[in-house]
Amino acid sequence: MTSLRVDPHRSTMSAVVAGVLSAGLLVTGQLLLWRTPEYDGANAVPQLTRFYLNHGNQNLAEVSALMHLGSALLFAWFLVALIRTVRGAERRAGRVGNLSTLMLLGGTVFMVFIMLAGTTGNLFGITADNADGFPVEPRTAVIAILLLDMSYAAAIAAMVGVSILLFALWRAVQTVHALPAWLGWFAFVLAVLCLAGPFGAWVTPLIFALWMLAACVALLMTTEAASEQPGPAA
């Protein structure tokens, strides 16, 4: 009876591609969402009304929402590779896999809430584009303000999940040397920034995307180093 064996290098390469795509979609989706006018000033309602009356902005709202969804789904693939690497290091060190479990928890929180942030932040534009009976006027633009506030709150929650993920990964780097030390310290600094809540949630997703690209490089380095080590003697 033969057993199926997964090629570690091919599996890591697939996860790296997913990570790069996830980071790119996250950055692009966030930048599209940032095109929305400021909604906390005295002129917020007329500015939002003019913005959402533009059919091109309505279409871009759909694109932004889809990019957030795609980024979260691809991140799941990338997260599995990170957890597998940490769990393997924990196993070799004879430790219980608590850190990899925390990474799974934090990553799941991020995926759920970043999808929610992308959906709610673009929901008004999507509705205006697809619902013929939905009027875009100052009276309904107030709904957009509520949805944008909900989107930002979801982004804050998503970055709390990232903080849990990165603190756990940093600890794994310190204790079981799962990944390069420089990636662990990058994770630690970003985890602290993610705790800034409403003061930093507008920029920390972009920094996290940069960290994901760095983590992709680290995963490739770790896989290459493992493949160059001689196997056990027969």
Q: pLDDT-based confidence at 89, cuts 50/70/90?
A: confident
Q: Per residue in 106-127, pLDDT tens? A: 999 999 999 999 999 999 999 9
Please say if the pLDDT value at position 69 is more than 50: yes
Q: Per residue in 122-149, pLDDT tens? A: 999 999 999 888 899 999 999 999 999 9
Q: For the chain, which residues make up each domain, given as ranges?
A: 8-224
Q: What is the mean pLDDT of residues 89-97?
A: 79
Q: For position 5, what pLDDT does the model report?
A: 52
- Angle at Cα 202 formed by Cα 39 and Cα 103, nearest 5°? 140
Alpha-carbon torsion, ordered 173, 178, 179, 181, to 10 deg: 30
The residue that leads in pLDDT, 2 or 217, is: 217
